[in-house]
Amino acid sequence: MSIQGFEEWLHTPAGKYVLNWEQRGHDTLVADIFGFNAVQLSLPQHDFLQANRMPLRFRCDDGRYAGIPEVRSDLHHLPFAASSIDLVVMPHTLEFDDNPHQLLREVERVLVPEGHVIVSGFNPFSLWGAKRKLSRREGLPPWRGKYISVPRLKDWFSLLGFEMQTGSFGCYAPAVTQEKWLRRFEFLDRAGDRWWPIAGAVYIVQAVKRQHGLRLITPKWHDRKARAKAMAAVTQRSTERTPTQ
């Protein structure tokens, strides 16, 4: 699915409004997730892992967005071993993909048991979702794409063995384009979480990959450290092979 123009839209007043809220949300969630390897899928120009403290953090993209990621790959066939990643962050990745189910299955494959996935996206049950339905300019960002509701996303998680942990909605102002109007609607952001908590324009949710019957006794720190070092070497080689633009 074409996502041309979305990166440019993120630099508009409305785009910055959404991006700033999502950055704060990611910073809060990723700060207390521990492990060795964390990957962000899509939007490589923005670092949603900046508050995380894992030793290996990198961004992976298939070239759809501007900027050069540390790893370039088809997101439906990630170049990572099964059960090798502790955290996957997906900012607007699913809603702009032709096959989000396959993408989520691939994320489940590479995550370790008890690994975390964080997904952000546009909420179809919001003022922005309503404008998307009524807009004659649906071919333009951010209206292009298939907005996925949180209940539907929760169902997808459940089918793949994920358990939803936490989430939040934000950006309650109408889909206005000028900064002065966004400032005038700031009171809606202050009241939104209390009075209409599921009507925010965007959401961010966190889920954990559960493995039934798994009994964690002690972590195999030495094995995990060796695997992390091996992945760091592979990532370095991928970076060296990536052509400059």
| pTM to 2 decimal places | 0.84
- Which DSSP string do the residues of 124-156 spell out, in sequence order? SSSHHHHHHHH-S-TTSTTTSS----HHHHHHH
Contact yes or no for 30/24 (Cβ under 8 A): no
The pLDDT tens digits for 173-184 are: 998 889 999 998
Domain boundaries, the chain: 6-241
Least confident of 56-60, 159-163, 168-172, 232-236: 232-236
The pLDDT tens digits for 69-80 are: 889 999 999 999
pLDDT at 29 over 70: yes
Q: What is the topology classification, in CATH, of domain 6-241?
A: Rossmann fold (3.40.50)
Integer angstrom CA distances of residue 77 from 68, 105, 225: 19, 10, 24
Q: What span, in angstroms and rounded, lies between the C-alpha atoms of 161 and 166?
A: 16
Q: What is the torsion angle, in degrees rounded to the nearest 10, for the CA atoms of residue 173, residue 151, residue 48 and residue 234?
A: -160
Mean pLDDT within 98-116 = 97
What is the percent of the chain where pLDDT is above 90? 62
**pLDDT grade, residue 102 (50/70/90)?**
very high
Rg (CA), the chain: 18
Q: What span, in angstroms and rounded, lies between the C-alpha atoms of 120 and 104?
A: 13
pLDDT value of position 157: 97
Contact yes or no for 235/56 (Cβ under 8 A): yes
Q: What span, in angstroms and rounded, lies between the C-alpha atoms of 234 and 157?
A: 29
The pLDDT tens digits for 209-235 are: 998 765 555 455 555 656 665 565 555
Q: E strands within the chain?
A: 37-41, 56-61, 71-72, 85-91, 111-122, 162-170, 202-209
Helix orientation angle between 150-159 and 100-110, rounded to the nearest 10 degrees = 50
pLDDT value of position 245: 41
Q: What span, in angstroms and rounded, lies between the C-alpha atoms of 229 and 64?
A: 29
